[in-house]
């Protein structure tokens, strides 16, 4: 089990607080992570995206309008490289 407050592979904790299990009848939503980079390819920020599908996650990313090249990941799967979100 990961240390308290550490995300680890279990995904029990997030920056915003403890993630809870879905209510009865709900399904867990896949967790996505957006990584954005500067002009010299250094990561400048990372954001959690909650979405039910890749398409929904991409819509959420586009709505952020960050103006930076980014990568959208679902766990260890690269969903899409986005050259610029301007």
Give tens-digit pLDDT for 60-73: 999 998 889 999 99
d(CA 56, CA 49): 10
Please give the Cα distance from 83 to 51 (Å, whole number). 21
> pLDDT digit string (tens) for 17-74?
444 555 565 566 669 999 999 999 999 999 999 999 999 999 999 999 888 999 999 9
Strands (E), the chain: 13-14, 17-18, 31-37, 43-50, 70-74, 77-82
Residue spans per domain, the chain: 25-82
- Does this model's pTM top 0.85? no
């Amino acid at each position: 089990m990961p240390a308290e407050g550490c995300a680890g592979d279990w995904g029990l904790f997030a920056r915003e607080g403890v993630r809870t299990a879905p209510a009865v009848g709900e399904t867990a939503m896949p967790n996505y992570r957006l990584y954005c980079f500067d002009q010299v390819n250094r990561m400048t920020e990372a954001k959690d995206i909650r979405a039910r599908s890749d398409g929904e996650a991409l819509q959420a990313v586009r709505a952020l309008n960050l103006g930076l090249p980014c990568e959208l990941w679902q766990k260890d799967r690269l969903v899409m490289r986005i050259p610029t979100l301007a």
